[in-house]
Amino acid sequence: MDKYERIGRELIHKGAIIDYYQDTIKIPNGNVAKWDFIQHKGAAAVVAVKEDGKLLMVRQYRNALDRETLEIPAGGLNGADEPTDLAAMRELEEETGYKAGKLELLLSLRTTVAFCNEKIDVYVATDLQPARQHLDEDEFLDVESYDVDELIQMIYDCKIQDGKTVSSILAYKNKYCK
């Protein structure tokens, strides 16, 4: 045997955002292993560029870290089949109170490939127009804006550690700030 084969998958817990499974895998040496698997419906995120070139960021509390983080606007898909560009537009308006006149795919990333299938499509939003912020009932965040170089410095100072935010800001700088 020279490949991996999933021979079983058991749902351990169904959650609001993720479903947790235990997989039974036949591994290349013929042994059987139990591996954790987290199924995620996917997400979309936005590098929102204001007319002055500053990027819109959201500061919010994250329970897993028990602290506030500074991130690009993002959110989960309403369903695995929701187009990510529509989700990106929705999340931008919900979180920041802006609509984008133009949206372009920047990159797709997998957040934690060892145990989770989460995929985030990240878009660059330009031609921003004021709209109305409408947060979820349990969502409290502040909208801030920064120069790209300020954000890059925050990454290297370990003040921004969120993977989607780090990769998206660096990709944006590389592609658009020559």
Instruction: Indicate which residue of 5, 94, 104, 137 is catalytic.
Output: 137
For 45-80, give one letter per residue: b (16+ CB within 10 A) or e: bbbbbeeeebbbbbebeeeeeeeebbbbbbbbbeee
Instruction: Give the residue from 126, 124, 86 showing the smallest Cα distance to 106.
Output: 124
The full length of the chain comes to: 178
DSSP secondary structure letter of residue 36 = E
The yes-or-no answer on residue 104 being catalytic is no
Number of DSSP helices (H) and strands (E) in the chain, helices first: 3, 10
Residues known to be catalytic: 137
